[in-house]
A = this chain, B = another copy of it.
């Protein structure tokens, strides 16, 4: 009965919960761009105040980068730690947005109401589903069903440089919880709730090829002087063979062959790759020809050029040979692939192809291995069952193509299992223009967390 009262309260309070989310979405907390440092700070302050409003003792905790928010509240059930991140991705290309990314709104679409704005799905909207569930529970019962530690990060979209040091320095405080709940993932194919048990790692590399010591006129130097864009395209153009196999030496070391029972299990999910690709205007899987599309996303490594630039890119034409050309490249990693070894091999592979007159400079970005979750804590089965009460289908234990390195850190540094569950949909346009979060995701997400907290309290 008590859960039902909470669910009724959630339904009644949805409009004000939305107002609160829109307020948070208006803060442009882009963590990767130093210009938004103050906005990140403001988002952290906002969360401290919002947690205080539901009786959580929370504080902003400084790091060398953007601050963490940590709060604690007591309760009768098991001690859970909830993680989310308040920072968001950059918004460019801005001209492809249909509205100001930081002036969010509820929009009616052919598929139903959505919350449109940067961070609506990744991860402010998701983060707020948990806080709103707690708020409703507290309003109905005056207290919460579990002991809860809230732990919010502001650097998830820029490689989490402060996270490991912070976890180590504050391990005693954080490891009092027995299980971590991470809300930064989605439903399985936008329909079935999913508990993610398999995450890819991420290696981010940025390189700049340098040739002449200044930009040159192609009429005077064309042909005779080396063009760094030519060098860059030549090298990156050889990143894959005709079968989509990545050509960096040793890159497939540590990539496990999937056990036949997992392949069978995944085939049984009937992943609709035509619909998956068709939804974004494509039809042909581009990856390794001898693997299923779902393997490409969940269990195979990838190499992607995420950005490239050099020379004149404005309107009109400029016959320039630029002094340099750059690219950002990321690798998604699986199994026991070693990101440090792959970084070394990739750089050696590039450097061996740079002509004697050119040089290459590197910038480090993310560097995290893949992780696989343990599901032995009784909270996993309790949550899976509770999710089946809210959604049409029971929850699936699923893989995820993304990289949420924090899941591994909870195990390695704090010794606790992490349960990744979230309400995002495939078409949320994460990291893209016009990011949205379905109103249904937000609403049923809040309800789902109330059910999970209730189930975990009962299972303990």
Chain A residues within 8 Å of B, Cβ to Cβ: 31-34, 89-90, 92-93, 96, 157-159, 200, 202, 204, 206, 211-227, 229-230, 232-240, 244, 273, 276-277, 280-288, 293, 296-297, 300-302, 304-322, 325-328, 330, 332, 355-357, 365-366, 400-403, 426, 429-434
Expressed in whole angstroms, the Cα–Cα distance for A420 and B281 within the complex equals 53
Contact A357 B283 (CB under 8 A): yes
CB distance from A63 to the nearest CB of B (A): 16
Rounded to whole Å, the gap between the CB of A111 and the closest CB of chain B is 15
Given contacts A232-B233, A319-B431, contact A227 B284 (CB under 8 A): no
The complex is assembled from copies of this chain, and their number is 2
With a cutoff of 8 Å between Cβ atoms, the chain B residues found around residue A325 in the complex are: 308
Q: A296 vs B35: C-alpha distance in the bound complex, in angstroms?
A: 46
- 10 further interface pairs, Cβ-Cβ under 8 Å (given A33-B315, A218-B330): A93-B215, A211-B281, A212-B282, A214-B429, A224-B276, A224-B277, A230-B236, A233-B236, A306-B312, A320-B432
| A317 and B357 contacting across the interface, CB-CB below 8 Å | no
Q: How close is A94's CB to chain B, nearest CB, in angstroms? A: 11
Report yes or no: A304 in contact with B432, Cβ–Cβ below 8 A. no
Given A90-B318, A217-B432, A304-B218, the answer on whether A280 and B237 have CB atoms closer than 8 Å is no
Contact call A311/B305, Cβ cutoff below 8 A: yes
**Considering only CB atoms, which chain B residue lies closest to A332 in the complex?**
B222
Q: Is the CB of A305 within 8 A of B230?
A: yes
B432 touches A202 (CB 8 A): no
- Contact between chains at A328 and B307 (CB < 8 Å): no
Of chain B, the residue at the smallest CB distance from A218 is B304
Nearest-neighbour CB distance to chain B for A146, whole angstroms, equals 30
Bound CA–CA A230/B320 (angstroms): 23
Contact residues in B for A320 (Cβ distance below 8 Å): 306-307, 431-432
Contact call A317/B233, Cβ cutoff below 8 A? no
For A223, give its contact among B157, B297, B326 (CB under 8 Å). B297
Q: Is the CB of B226 within 8 A of A308?
A: no
**What B residues does A305 contact at CB under 8 A?**
227, 229-230, 233, 310-311
**Residues on the B chain within 8 Å of A229, using CB:** 236, 305-308, 327
Q: Knowing A219-B403, A237-B237, A239-B230 are in contact, say whether A330-B317 is a contact too (CB < 8 A).
A: yes
Question: Chain B residues near A284 (CB, 8 Å)?
Answer: 226, 355-357
List the B side residues contacting A240 at CB < 8 Å.
Answer: 230, 234
Identity of the chain B residue whose Cβ is nearest the Cβ of A185 in the assembled complex:
B219
- Closest B-chain residue to A199, C-beta based? B219
Q: Is the CB of B432 within 8 A of A214?
A: yes
> Which 6 pairs show the lowest CB-CB distances between chains A and B?
A237-B237, A32-B316, A219-B402, A213-B281, A307-B311, A223-B302
Contact of A286 among B93, B237, B280, B357 (CB under 8 A): B357
- A224 proximity list for chain B (CB < 8 A): 273, 276-277, 285-287, 293, 296-297
**Cβ contacts under 8 Å, A366 to chain B:** 317
B281 contacts A318, CB within 8 Å?
no
Residues of B within 8 A of A227 (CB): 286, 304-305
Bound state CA distance, A281 and B330, in angstroms?
31
Query: How far apart are the CA atoms of A285 and B221 in the complex, in Å?
Result: 10
A397 CA / B373 CA spacing, docked (Å): 76
Cβ–Cβ < 8 Å partners of A426 in chain B: 220
**Inside 8 A of A310's CB, which chain B residues have their CB?**
305, 307-309
Chain B residue contacts of A283, Cβ below 8 A? 356-357
Separation in Å of the A290 CB from the closest CB of chain B?
Answer: 13
Of the candidates B158, B159, B238, B321, which one forms a contact with A304 in the assembled complex, judged by CB atoms under 8 Å apart? B321
Complex: A159 Cα to B318 Cα, angstroms: 10
Would B32 and A206 count as touching, CB distance under 8 A?
Answer: no
Task: From known contacts A214-B432, A215-B96, A357-B282, infer whether A300 and B401 are also in contact, taking CB-CB under 8 Å.
Answer: no
